[in-house]
Amino acid sequence: MKFLSDKAVDRLRQAANTPDLSGTRYQLLEHVARGGMGTIYAALDETLHRRVALKILDVPVADDDFALRLNREARVLARLEHPGIVPVHDVGTLSDGRVFYTMKFVEGQRLDRHIEAVPSLPDRLRLFLRICDAVAFAHARGVLHRDLKPANVMVGAFGEVLVMDWGLAKILREQSADFAEDDPEATIVHTPKSAGTLADATQATQVTGQGTVLGTPGYMSPEQSRGDVAHVDERSDIFSLGALLRFLCAPPAAQPKPNGIWRLDKALEAVCGKATETDPRKRYASVPELSADVSRYLDGLPVSARKETIFDKTARFYRRYTIAILLIGAYLAMRILLLIFSRA
């Protein structure tokens, strides 16, 4: 009996895993990444001659209902037209029954890698505000992301910030008659048919069946961790944004730990703390509220998440007007010295 070499086995495995795009307008270029729900490839749109990102779900479509849900996900994401959200171009089914959709190919870096090159806290906070803008827009359209984390944010070559991977998105409410026939509480997530799918999941994203755990530990709200789908709303994304904010405010060496114990500025810590409260009712009620607090912090104003003492107020005033205070202080000191000098 002759055994196949490891190299031959690898080649066979690779060939077996390569999706068959015949019958579509796309030509496979290269493997890009694996997400929680599927694999992302770079592909060439042969009709429009442009590079696109092609996401193929891992599990073949088993029934029409599931195909409808996935098509619906693509349709919902397609209506999220915002500079901070990756646009979906197309949706379809491969010859092997797997559903795919294509989206804009973003050339850039994931936030967790990009942030190493951004040492300034204000710059990081401004990045965060742009993420908030995109998430707030989605919320306004009734869509929850449910898997916000640094790995799901891309920063493009020109500084554009894009929220990616809406594969776990949930539609809170319908805004268009097109979707009225669907279940408004439907979760955009496929149910894995085997344990193998879970094992394949990357970036610690856990994908299990409908109504169970979706998201990433450390960035997932307690209600999401419990699989309490009924109570997942905008405030779950706010929890994830709070964890993301804590990640962005941390010194580079501490960044791999989103729930670490490094010392943050008290006001920022209060903002993170309020956003990541265990009880959703104690969190910010909306993303604009959270981003307004971060903006206030950036402007040297008090944040709503923390009641200031007189010392905090003084310290904040000093931080805000350091140069002016030093200049006036120098002027007064000079005047006093001149007075003493002239009397002497």
Partner 1 sequence: MNKVLLGLLLGAVLGAIDGLTSWFTPAVRAQLVGIVVGSTVKGIIAGIAIGFFARKVHSLALGILFGLAVGFVLAFIVAQLQHGYYLEIILPGSIVGIIVGYATQRYGAASASVPAPTR
First to last CA, the chain: 109
Q: How far is the C-alpha of 93 from the C-alpha of 77, rounded, in Å?
A: 17
User: Which residues are CB-neighbours of 170 under 8 A, at least 6 positions away?
Assistant: 143, 144, 146, 186, 187, 188, 229, 232
Q: How far is the CB of 119 from partner 1 (least distance, A)?
A: 20
The two structure tokens encoding residue 236 = 């779950």
Interface ranges with partner 1 (CB under 8 A): 323-324, 327-328, 330-331, 334-335, 338-339, 341-342
How far apart are the C-alpha atoms of 26 and 42, rounded to whole Å? 10
- Which is nearer to partner 1, 12 or 326 (by Cβ)? 326
SS3 state at 181: coil
Exposed, middle or buried by CB within 10 Å (0-12, 13-18, 19+), for 103? buried
- Number of C-beta neighbours around residue 343 at 10 A: 6
Cα distances (Å, whole numbers) of residue 15 to 8, 28, 252: 10, 13, 40
Known catalytic residue at 123: no
Q: Which is nearer to partner 1, 15 or 324 (CB)?
A: 324
Which among 301, 246, 234 is positioned nearest to 273, based on CA atoms?
246
Give the SS3 label for residue 110: strand
Angle at 280 between CA 277 and CA 281, to 5 degrees: 105
193 vs 335, beta carbon nearer partner 1: 335
Shortest Å, Cβ 332 to partner 1: 10
Q: How far is the CB of 330 from partner 1 (least distance, A)?
A: 6
Taking CA atoms, 287 is separated from 33, 41, 255, 291, in Å, by: 29, 32, 23, 6
With respect to partner 1, which residue has the nearer C-beta, 122 or 260? 122
Q: How far is the CB of 338 from partner 1 (least distance, A)?
A: 6
- Residue whose CB is less far from partner 1, 48 or 339: 339
Nearer to partner 1, 318 or 331 (CB): 331
Catalytic choice (147, 165, 237, 293)? 147
Q: Shortest distance, CB of residue 123 to partner 1, whole angstroms? A: 17
Give the CA dihedral 124, 276, 197, 257, nearest 10 degrees: 50
Q: How far is the CB of 317 from partner 1 (least distance, A)?
A: 15
CB of 331 to partner 1, least distance (A): 5
- Mapping DSSP to helix (H, G, I), strand (E, B) and coil, where does residue 56 land? strand
Q: In this structure, are residues 26 and 45 in contact, taking their beta carbons and an 8 Å threshold? A: yes
- CB-nearer residue toward partner 1: 97 or 329: 329
The residues annotated as belonging to the active site are: 147
